[in-house]
Structure 1
Amino acid sequence: MDGRCPSTTQTCLGGDMGECCEDADILSGGTTAAPTQASTQGPTQAPTQGPTQAPTPACVDQVNPLTGVSDCQRLSYLCNDSLYYALMTQQCPLTCNRCNGATQQPAPSSNCRDLVHYQTGVSDCPQRAYLCTNALYRSLMQVQCPRTCGFCT
């Protein structure tokens, strides 16, 4: 506490009129992760809502944007390596068996590839994966992005 904030666990940033920030939220260099304003009001109650459930995503391995092909099979030996565990879980959930109830797509055949953009030479399928389940784009995505969308047999 520096005398300008109401709590002993807060520090004032930015002079006399600065924000009071929780000490735990202050990052090195004097910046904050989540600033809060000092308040003279009592605590507010969070609105009560039932939990919302996001749709279950398809469990697919990410595609290397430079090649249009997933590197997951080649890098599968890193699935349980402690240095790469989080990255492999994010990039290669199907290969590393980390789908957690998501819809598992069949393993694509090796000749199944996403097409690459003619100007960049890089597949933009990972950025457009949300279109895989859109009925208006399904036939286009089957041709352009079969690997990303899990359409390979």
Structure 2
Amino acid sequence: MLKLLLLLSLLFCLSSCHENWEELAADSTTTTDSSTTSSDASTSPTTAVPCQDDPSTDCTQYKSLCSNDKWAPLLKQFCPVTCNLCPGATTVATTANPRCYDSSSNCANWAKNGYCNNCFYTCAQRTSYCAKTCGFCTPGSCVECKNPILSLVNKH
């Protein structure tokens, strides 16, 4: 649960809260869970855990970060299916949606800097500029942030 909270905090604050977010992301991957250690050497072998997204994480919201190497360790843990990070995973070709496109040529750079999940912008804004890059081609794939400060800013 602590790692999930850290992931959500890091992703929410990607562009505004933490100047050292890369360090925080790296630190989160070195945390160990003491409940999984055992001093009994005669324990039975473990079975492979199926590759699945963490059900308490809205992985579609973070899909644009899947190609960002800095977030790969956290996304591999919480969103491996969404990010195609399961062991032996292969990329499946999809049919292009002709109505889904980026209206800005800067989307790739913006996405690397967290634009797709930046709560400063509304879903309408993020989708109108970078729907394809951000993975917002399917209706409902962009989820509005629940940020009370942002709500006040966008009303004015």
Give the TM-score normalised by structure 1.
0.28
Highest relative contact order (Cα 8 Å, sep 6+), 1 or 2?
2
Give the TM-score normalised by structure 2.
0.28
Greater helix share, structure number: 2
Greater strand share, structure number: 1
